[in-house]
Structure 1
Amino acid sequence: MDTPATPAGHPAADAALGATSLLRFATAGSVDDGKSTLVGRLLHDSKSVLADQLEAVESASRNRGQDTPDLALLTDGLRAEREQGITIDVAYRYFATPRRRFILADTPGHVQYTRNMVTGASTAELAVVLVDARNGVVEQTRRHAAVAALLRVPHVVLAVNKMDLVDYDEDVFAAIAEEFTRYAASLGVPEITAVPISALVGDNVVTPSAHMDWYGGPTVLEHLETVAVTDDPADDPARFPVQYVIRPQTPEHPDYRGYAGQIASGLLRTGQHVTVLPSGRTSTIEGLDVLGQSVDVAWAPQSVTVLLADDLDISRGDMIVPSDASVTPSQDLTATVCHLHDTPLTPGARVLLKHTTRTVKAIVKEIPSRLTLDDLSQHPEPGRLVANDIGRVVLRTSEPLPVDAYADSRRTGSFVLVDPADGSTLSAGMAGHAFADAVRETAEAEGLSVADDDGWDF
C-alpha cells in the first residue's frame, strides 16, 4: 500500500514522513541510448537482482558470445526484444533501497511505440530521458520531452549516457544539458536534473564516477531516492469519486449509508460542506471511516467511506467535492488525446468515455488538429487520429461530467475513450489547454508554423 501524503500539521505527519515512500518513474530515450542497460545497472548495483535472475542473464549473454553479462536482459523480457536488442513493450520492475521503494516503467524508444511511453509515464512522478552523448538531443529526445510535458510529469532527469565513448568530456555534457533543459523548460517541465553517466560500466548510476570529478551532482539513484514526490493535499481541492454505496442493513447498523471510494485529490474533514456532482445537491460530512475506524480527516490517496448528514440519491460515478471548491459539470469537453488503438479515431465516432468511476456515452464531434512532436508543427483538420498520434478532440457526452483541467489534477483531469463494441481502450485523454499553450509559445519562439483558426482552437 502506498504511503499517503500527509497534510501539513496533521498528527500523522511525522509517522508518514518517516516511512519508506514510493516513487513511480519511467525511462525513455531513442533506440540504443541504453535505457534497458541503465535499468539493469540500477537493479544490479542496488542489489535488487535475485541470484537465479542474474544466472539466467549471464547464461543468455554467453550464448550470444558476450564476455560480460548484458544487464539489458533483466528488463527486455519478450523474445523479440532479446533477439533484436530493442524494447518493444513497457517493462515494469519493482525494487527497493533502504530509503525508498520504486515502481519502474522501462518504455520503448521507437517512434511507433510512442503510445507505450504514454502508458508507462501516465502515472509516473519522474521520467528519466536518456541521450547518447555521441548523438546529443535528437528528434526522439524532443518527442519524449514533449510527452513528459503533455502528461505533466513533475520531475525529469536527463541522463547523458555513454560518456565513456566521448572521453568523459565535460563540454559535451554541458552542451547537451543546456539544449535539452532549454527545450523542456519551454514546454513547461517544472524540474530538470542532468546527470552524466555510463550505464555500461556504472559511472554515476549508483556510485559516483572516478572519471568525472568535474561533476558534483547526485548519481541517478541518489536523485531517485531524494527527489520530493509528495505534495501537501491541503493545497489541492478535494475530489472523491464514489465507487460503491455501502448499505449493510444489519441490526447493529440499521441506518448506515456510506459512500466508499478513493480520494483522488485533496482532503476531507468531518463537518465539511460538500456538493454531490453532477446533481448539485449539498450536504455535510457527518463521518469518515478508514479501515473500519472513524477519523476526523482523510486525504488522498486514502480509501475511505464518507457518511453524509442527509439522505441523497448518490450512486457509483457521482463525485463529492467541497462546496467552496467545486467544478462545473459539462457535456462538452475539449481535450488533448493520445490515440492508442490500431483503429483510427474519426469525427462522428461513438465511444464510451471513462472518467474516474463514471462511464458515459460520447461522440467525437471534431478533431481540430494533430500535433507533430518532431517539430511541434500543427496539422489542422487531420480527419482522423491513428495509433501514436496526439491531437485535439471535441467531445459531447450523454451526461454532464465534473472534469478538472489536467494541469490542475492528473487524476480528475484525465479520461479514456473506450470502444463500446469490445471494450478496448482507444485513446487516453487530458482535459484543458495548458500543454497546447506551451506548444504554441515554443513553436512561435523557434519560428515554426502555427495554425490559425483552423488549427489549435483556443
Structure 2
Amino acid sequence: MTSTFEASTTSLLRFATAGSVDDGKSTLVGRLLHDSKSILADQLEAVEHASRNRGTGAPDLALLTDGLRAEREQGITIDVAYRYFATARRRFILADTPGHVQYTRNMVTGASTAELAVVLVDARNGVVEQTRRHAAVAALLRVPHVVLAVNKMDLAGYAEPVFAAIAGEFTAYAASLGVPDVTAIPISALAGDNVVTPSAHMDWYGGPTVLEHLETVPVVADPTADPARFPVQYVIRPQTAAHPDYRGYAGRVASGVLRVGEPVTVLPSGRTSTIAAIDALGEPVEAAWAPQSVTLRLADDLDVSRGDLIAPTAGAPATTRDVEATVCHVADRPLRTGDRVLLKHTTRTVKAIVKDIPTRLTLDDLSQHASPGELAANDIGRIVVRTAEPLALDAYAASRSTGSFLLVDPADGTTLTAGMAGAAFAGAGAAKTPQAADEGWDF
C-alpha cells in the first residue's frame, strides 16, 4: 500500500519563497519559470516587449511577476501569489510571499502548507534582520526543509568565502531555532547561475542547483507513521430504495491511514465503534490515507455530525477546552484579553474567549515581551483561549493540519488570528503562561 501512496503523491512539492526587498526574489521566480520552460510563448513575448520598452536588452524575467503591481494599483489586495509549474520529475505549487516586515502575516499564510521554504539573501548584504525574521517564521510553522539561496553572487565576484560566511551564519541561526534541514546554494538569478543549470563561474560549489534540489528533496513520509485523523465534513443519508439504511461520514483524511475493521473513537463525544466500510469515488476500498477524500461507514449507529473527529481508538487525541498556542495576528484590529471569538479547528467551529496573552515575540532577537495586553497586525505571541465546547486538538509539532486553528470575529466573519497549538521556538526562552481565573466567564 505504501508504494501506491508514494506513486500518487511524491510528484507534488509545495514551497514558499521569501526575501528582503531588492534581494532578487522576482527574478529568481522568473528564472525558475523561464529556464524550466514553464511559461507560454505569449508570456515570454510580452516580457520581451516590456523589457524593450524599458530599454533593457535582455528580457527582464522579474516582469513575469510584476503583473501583481498593476493589480495593486487597481485597488486589489494580494496577500500571497500562487504559481504552478512542472518538470518531468515533479509538479510544484509556489507560494510567492511578500518580503516587507509589515507583511509577516502574509508569509505565515504562504508557508503554512509549505514543505520547503526558499529564503533569499543578497550576497553583498549577508544575513540581515529580515532574513532572521523569515527563518524564524519558517521554524515556527515547522517547515521541514529550508533553502538558503545566496543571490547576486555575480556582484560579489563569485567569491567562495563570501558564500561560506553567509551560509555558516544562517545555518547556525537556523539551528538555534530548531530548523531540521538547511541547504545553502550560491546563485545569480539574473545570470541563471545554479538556478536551473550549474554555474560555470563557481566550480568550487559541488552541490545541487535550486531546481535540482526542489526536484529531489524528500517530502513524502510513510503515511502509517502519523496518527490517523478524519474531520467529518458532511453526513450522507441518501435514503434510496437501494440503500435505505446508508449512513456515511464524508471528509478528507487529514493525516495517517484508516482501515476497514479498525476500532475508532468519535470525538469529542468519546463514543467508540469500528470502521465497517470506506467508500472512495463511490467504490469500496480497504484503506484510505491523507489527503484522500472518502466516506466512512461505522458499524454502530452513533450520533456523528459535521465538526466531529474520527480517530483510531489507540492514539486518539485528548479533548480540551483550554487551548494554549502560539499565534500570528492577521487582522488590522488588535486581539485583546477578554475578546469573544469563534475558534475554527478543522471542520468544527466553537465559541471561545481569549483568557490571556502572556507574551509577544520579537522576531529580530527572539526576545519575549511579557503581558503585552494585545496583539496588533503581524504580531506573533502566546495566547490562552477557553472554548465553550471541547476540542480534539493535536500539538502543532505533531500535526500541522489538526494542530492549527483560526480565530474568527463572530460579528462579521473576519479572520483574526492563525494559531498553532503548543507551538514555540526552540531557541526562545520559556514563556510563562499565567492562568486567568474562571470567575466571570460564561463557559
Give the alignment's TM-score, normalised by structure 2. 0.94
Q: State the match for 1:295 in structure 2.
A: 285
Q: State the match for 2:114 in structure 1.
A: 124
SS state at 2:127 partner: coil
Alignment check: 8 A CA contact 2:196 2:209 kept = yes
- Structure 2 counterpart of 1:252, from 237, 242, 246: 242
Give a deviation string over 1:404-437, Cα, whole Å, max 9, x none. Answer: 000000000000111111111111100014x234
Check 1:122–1:452 CA distance in 2 against 1; reply closer, same or farther (3 A cut).
closer
Matches within 5 A, 1:359-398: 359-398=349-388
Alignment check: 8 A CA contact 1:160 1:194 kept = yes
- Structure 2 counterpart of 1:164, from 154, 168, 175: 154
State the shift of 1:82 in Å: 9.0
**Any unmatched runs of 5+ in structure 1?**
1-6, 441-449
1-structure distance, mates of 2:431, 2:270: 39
Check 1:393–1:223 CA distance in 2 against 1; reply closer, same or farther (3 A cut).
same
Alignment check: 8 A CA contact 2:177 2:425 kept = no
1-structure distance, mates of 2:301, 2:78: 51
1-structure distance, mates of 2:160, 2:17: 23
In the alignment, residue 230 of structure 1 is paired with which amino acid?
V
Name the stretch that deviates more: 204-213 or 112-121: 112-121
Check 1:19–1:235 CA distance in 2 against 1; reply closer, same or farther (3 A cut).
closer
Name the stretch that deviates more: 243-252 or 47-56: 47-56
Alignment check: 8 A CA contact 2:117 2:143 kept = yes
Q: State the match for 1:436 in structure 2.
A: 425
State the shift of 1:79 in Å: 3.0
State the shift of 1:89 in Å: 3.9
Alignment check: 8 A CA contact 2:396 2:404 kept = yes
State the shift of 1:321 in Å: 0.5
Alignment check: 8 A CA contact 1:262 1:304 kept = yes
- Structure 1 counterpart of 2:99, from 92, 105, 109: 109
- % identical equivalent positions: 78
1-structure distance, mates of 2:38, 2:161: 34
Q: State the match for 2:306 in structure 1.
A: 316
Check 1:276–1:89 CA distance in 2 against 1; reply closer, same or farther (3 A cut).
closer
- Structure 1 counterpart of 2:332, from 329, 333, 342: 342
Over aligned residue pairs, what C-alpha RMSD do you find? Answer: 1.8
Check 1:302–1:387 CA distance in 2 against 1; reply closer, same or farther (3 A cut).
same
2-structure distance, mates of 1:28, 1:163: 18
Q: State the match for 2:440 in structure 1.
A: none
- Structure 1 counterpart of 2:258, from 255, 258, 268: 268
Give a deviation string over 1:203-248, Cα, whole Å, max 9, x none. Answer: 0000000000000110000000011111111011100000011111
Name the stretch that deviates more: 251-260 or 87-96: 87-96
Give the alignment's TM-score, normalised by structure 1. 0.91
State the shift of 1:90 in Å: 1.8
* Count of residues in Structure 1 that have an aligned counterpart in Structure 2: 432
Matches within 5 A, 1:68-87: 68-79=58-69
Matches within 5 A, 1:223-238: 223-238=213-228
In the alignment, residue 271 of structure 1 is paired with which amino acid?
G
SS state at 1:41 partner: helix
Name the stretch that deviates more: 88-97 or 307-316: 88-97
Alignment check: 8 A CA contact 2:10 2:219 kept = no
Alignment check: 8 A CA contact 1:379 1:451 kept = no
Check 1:404–1:341 CA distance in 2 against 1; reply closer, same or farther (3 A cut).
same
**Any unmatched runs of 5+ in structure 2?**
436-443
Q: Are 2:262 and 1:239 aligned?
A: no
Runs of 4+ in 1 over 4 A off after TM superposition: 80-83, 450-455
SS state at 2:149 partner: strand
Q: State the match for 2:273 in structure 1.
A: 283
State the shift of 1:59 in Å: 2.2
SS state at 1:186 partner: helix
Give a deviation string over 1:375-409, Cα, whole Å, max 9, x none. Answer: 11110111111111000010011110000000000
Matches within 5 A, 1:37-52: 37-52=27-42
Q: State the match for 2:438 in structure 1.
A: none
Alignment check: 8 A CA contact 1:380 1:454 kept = no
Check 1:321–1:414 CA distance in 2 against 1; reply closer, same or farther (3 A cut).
same
Q: State the match for 1:446 in structure 2.
A: none
1-structure distance, mates of 2:55, 2:68: 20
State the shift of 1:64 in Å: 2.6
State the shift of 1:66 in Å: 2.2
Q: Are 2:84 and 1:98 aligned?
A: no
Alignment check: 8 A CA contact 1:75 1:106 kept = no
Alignment check: 8 A CA contact 2:9 2:220 kept = no
State the shift of 1:78 in Å: 2.5
In the alignment, residue 118 of structure 1 is paired with which amino acid?
V
SS state at 1:369 partner: strand
State the shift of 1:81 in Å: 8.2
State the shift of 1:252 in Å: 0.5
Check 1:256–1:18 CA distance in 2 against 1; reply closer, same or farther (3 A cut).
closer
Q: State the match for 1:3 in structure 2.
A: none
Matches within 5 A, 1:175-254: 175-254=165-244
State the shift of 1:191 in Å: 0.8
SS state at 2:31 partner: helix
SS state at 2:84 partner: strand
1-structure distance, mates of 2:375, 2:70: 28
SS state at 2:107 partner: helix
